[in-house]
Each structure stands twice: as structure tokens, then as C-alpha cells.
């Protein structure tokens, strides 16, 4: 079976049924990636999906704390280096259907495992026995590791706060992802010369944004341009706005904070050549702090909190989409 991530990377699955991979990134620390990935994984498990939460935040792995489990002894590194198999590194959690893999990749010699090693890792996770959904908690920054995991996933969630720093980092992250993806497409299609021509004439061609670059490639060679565009548009990140305040409570510029996410999705479509969409808006909620302090997921501490209900909504939407995608496959 062939499966195609939103990043368009192709991986060959030997099992009849491949797990869906959901990556949660954000380009910036402290925006709520771990909150989202952990609680989303719990919500998926509660919905009967056999779920694997993978802490892929290489530098700042802490999903175990949010989840309330001891940090596993075996880590992703052991998996990448083939010192262990998945069942050794995936520990059980107090939640039915939910297993957890610790991310520590820091003992991998080069900071970046080879692309092929990452692909193998994802393949391994994706075809593990009894796994329906893999949730990846990514680190901050735009390292190739983070970008590749984000691009490989079927669903790539970008967590953003309604704050200038977070918006800035989110755009930086998406641009980096775009060019990382374009490099892969460039290689696969052997179109380095066309890209180079478009790049070197960027001023004459008026290329200022990734979207302009796609248009310039298409102008140079319509056939190739269309294919590149089709490939690039397979990367459809979902924006998830966190810590939103309603307009009345000091939302952005007198508007609901949700407009930030809508504006960003629109900007991505128009200027970054990335067909982003808004996955949801999560409210600022004091229940988060209570849950973090108790080192338990929201479901265990504040099952009726607004943030928990909002995350449930996100889980339902994602499951509906994944279900639809599967039915179509």
C-alpha cells in the first residue's frame, strides 16, 4: 500500500492499514504544542483509536510530565539506531489505547539523523501492530528534523498564539517548510535549472514570496510549474490558535482572536504558496495550569473545561477527516 503524507512524501506500507500521523509543531517554544499533542492523543485514545504519542521534541522532551508517566528508558534513538523495536520503546500509559514513546534523540551523533533514517522511523511507527494514530509532539525551531516530521505527517498542526512573536515564528517555520519541501520536489523532478533561473531573475520576474516563485516557475515552464504547484499544495498545514481571548476580554485589536488564525490562513494561501486552513481556536483557560501542576491530562483534571471541550472538537474533526481520507483510499 502506498500512502502519501500531506508533505507528499511517499512511503510504502507493508500492512493493510497504515496509521495516520499527526504532527504538532509551532516554530516557537511555549505556544502549547505539548498541551495540544498530549491532550489530543488522549482524546483520540478515548475515541477508541489505538494511539501512539511520540515526544519528538529533541531538546525539550516533557510530554511524559503532561501525561503523568515516568520518562521511558528506551527512546526514539534506540529505535532509529535499531537497538530496539517499537514494542520496547512504547510504554503503556494509565489510559486505555494510549502508548507513549519518548523522544530523546540527543545521543544520535549528528544532530540530524539522515532523511532515510527518519523515513524508516516514521514507517516503523506507521505500520506498528495495533496503532491507528501517531501523534508527534515536535520541538521549537526550524531544524530539518522538525521540518521533516512536520512535512511527512498526514496532518500537520501548527500551534500559534495571538502574539507577534508567535506569528512571526509561525511564518518563518512555514517558509522554511515550504523551501524544504521544494528542495525535495526539485530533486525528485530534476528541475534545479528552472528553479535556479527563477531564483536568479527574481527581481526581473518580481519574485518576492514563495507564491511568486511558483508563478515564476510556471511561467518558465507551464508543465513543470503545474506539477510543482500540485506537489507543493499537498502540504496543507492546519493552524490551531491557542490561548485565544474573546474580543470582550482583550482579543486582538477589538476583534475575536480567531481572526488572527483566519488572516494567517489567508496569507499563507496568497503569499506562501501553502494552502493552510484553520483547524480551530483554543481558549486561554486556567484549567491548563491546574492540569500541568497535577501532571495529568485535562481529561483527568478538568473534563468540562472550555479548553478540553475545544480540544475534543478538534479531535472529532480530525477523526472525521482521517476517516474520510481512509474511505477514499
Partner 1 sequence: MTSSPPAPARTALPDHPRGGAATWYDVLDVGPSAHVDELRTAYERSLALVEGRTLGGYFLLDPLAIDGARADIEAAWAVLSDVERRASYDRAIGLPASSLFPTPAPLAPSTASTTTATTAPSTIPARLPQSPSLKFLAPVLDDSTPTTPPTTPPTTPPTTSTLPTTARPSTLAMATSPPAFEAGFFALDGEVNGQVLKKLREARGLSLDELAELTKIRRPYLQAIEDQDLENLPARVYLRGFLTQIARALRVDRVRLAEGYVAFVARFGS
- The binding site for ligand ADP (CB under 6 A) comprises 26, 29-35, 242-243, 282, 284-285, 288-289, 292, 307
Phi first, then psi: give them for residue 25, nearest 5 degrees.
-125, -175
Best CA proximity match to 261, nearest among 276, 242, 239, 282: 239
Residue 114 or 270: which CB sits closer to partner 1? 270
Interface with Mg ion, residue 34, by CB under 5 A: yes
Residue 125 or 274: which CB sits closer to partner 1? 274
Partnered with residue 137 across adjacent β-strands are 24, 55
Q: Tell me how far, at minimum, the Cβ of 178 lies from ligand ADP, in Å.
A: 21
CB atoms inside a 10 Å sphere around CB 49: 22
> 3-class SS at 43?
helix
Q: Tell me how far, at minimum, the Cβ of 131 lies from partner 1, in Å.
A: 36
307 binds, among ligand ADP, partner 1, Mg ion, none (CB under 5 to 8 A by kind): ligand ADP
Q: Tell me how far, at minimum, the Cβ of 163 lies from Mg ion, in Å.
A: 17
Phi first, then psi: give them for residue 239, nearest 5 degrees.
-90, 130
Residues with Cβ within 8 Å of 118's Cβ and at least 6 positions away in sequence, in order, are: 80, 145, 148, 149, 152
Q: Tell me how far, at minimum, the Cβ of 62 lies from Mg ion, in Å.
A: 6
d(CA 34, CA 65): 10
Residue 65 or 259: which CB sits closer to partner 1? 259
Considering only the stretches 27-35, 143-151, 220-228, 274-282, report the one whose residues sit in contact with Mg ion under the rule CB under 5 A: 27-35
Q: Tell me how far, at minimum, the Cβ of 57 lies from Mg ion, in Å.
A: 5
The residues binding partner 1 (CB under 8 A) are: 162-164, 167-168, 171-172, 206, 208-215, 252-253, 259-264, 266-267, 269-271, 273
Distance of CA 242 to the CA centre of its chain: 15
Query: 51 to 70, contacts with Mg ion by CB under 5 A?
Result: 57
Partnered with residue 177 across adjacent β-strands are none
Distance of CA 58 to the CA centre of its chain: 15
Q: Which residue has the cell 527581481?
A: 203
Best CA proximity match to 153, nearest among 48, 37, 300, 62: 37
Q: Tell me how far, at minimum, the Cβ of 295 lies from ligand ADP, in Å.
A: 11
Q: Tell me how far, at minimum, the Cβ of 324 lies from ligand ADP, in Å.
A: 28
8 binds, among Mg ion, ligand ADP, partner 1, none (CB under 5 to 8 A by kind): none
CB 174 within 8 A of CB 272: yes
Best CA proximity match to 132, nearest among 157, 97, 87: 97
261, with CB counted inside 10 A (0-12, 13-18, 19+), is buried
Residue 29 or 275: which CB sits closer to ligand ADP? 29
292 binds, among partner 1, ligand ADP, Mg ion, none (CB under 5 to 8 A by kind): ligand ADP
Residue 10 or 266: which CB sits closer to partner 1? 266
Interface with Mg ion, residue 146, by CB under 5 A: no
228 binds, among Mg ion, partner 1, ligand ADP, none (CB under 5 to 8 A by kind): none
Q: Under the rule (CB under 5 A), what is the footprint of Mg ion?
A: 33-34, 57
Amino acid at each position: 500500500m502506498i500512502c502519501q503524507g500531506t508533505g507528499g512524501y511517499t512511503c510504502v506500507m507493508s500492512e493493510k492499514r497504515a496509521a495516520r500521523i499527526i504532527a504538532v509543531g509551532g516554530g516557537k517554544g511555549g505556544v502549547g504544542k505539548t498541551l495540544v499533542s498530549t491532550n489530543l492523543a488522549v482524546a483520540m485514545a478515548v475515541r477508541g483509536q489505538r494511539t501512539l504519542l511520540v515526544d519528538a521534541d529533541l531538546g525539550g522532551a516533557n510530554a511524559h510530565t503532561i501525561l503523568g508517566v515516568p520518562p521511558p528508558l528506551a527512546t526514539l534513538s534506540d529505535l532509529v539506531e535499531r537497538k530496539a523495536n517499537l514494542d520496547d520503546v512504547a510504554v503503556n500509559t494509565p489510559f486505555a489505547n494510549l502508548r507513549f514513546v519518548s523522544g530523546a534523540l540527543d545521543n544520535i551523533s549528528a544532530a540530524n539523523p539522515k532523511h532515510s533514517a527518519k523515513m524508516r522511523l516514521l514507517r516503523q511507527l506507521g505500520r506498528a501492530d495495533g496503532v491507528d494514530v501517531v501523534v508527534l509532539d515536535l520541538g521549537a525551531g526550524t531544524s530539518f528534523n522538525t521540518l521533516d516530521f512536520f512535512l511527512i505527517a498526514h496532518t500537520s498542526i501548527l500551534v500559534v498564539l495571538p502574539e507577534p512573536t508567535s506569528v512571526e515564528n509561525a511564518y518563518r517555520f512555514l517558509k522554511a517548510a515550504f523551501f524544504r519541501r521544494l528542495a525535495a520536489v526539485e530533486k525528485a523532478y530534476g528541475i534545479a535549472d528552472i528553479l535556479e533561473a527563477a531564483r536568479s531573475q527574481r527581481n526581473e520576474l518580481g519574485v518576492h514570496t514563495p507564491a511568486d516563485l511558483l508563478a515564476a516557475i510556471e511561467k518558465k515552464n507551464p508543465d513543470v510549474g503545474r506539477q510543482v504547484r500540485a506537489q507543493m499544495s499537498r502540504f496543507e498545514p492546519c493552524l490551531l490558535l491557542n490561548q485565544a481571548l474573546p474580543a470582550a476580554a482583550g482579543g486582538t485589536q477589538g476583534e475575536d482572536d480567531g481572526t488572527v488564525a483566519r488572516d494567517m490562513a489567508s496569507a499563507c494561501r496568497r503569499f506562501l504558496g501553502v494552502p493552510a486552513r484553520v483547524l480551530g481556536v483554543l481558549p486561554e483557560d486556567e484549567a491548563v495550569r491546574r492540569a500541568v501542576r497535577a501532571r495529568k491530562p485535562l481529561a483527568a483534571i478538568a473534563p468540562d473545561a472550555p479548553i478540553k471541550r475545544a480540544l475534543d472538537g478538534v479531535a472529532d474533526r480530525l477523526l472525521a477527516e482521517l476517516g474520510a481520507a481512509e474511505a477514499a483510499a
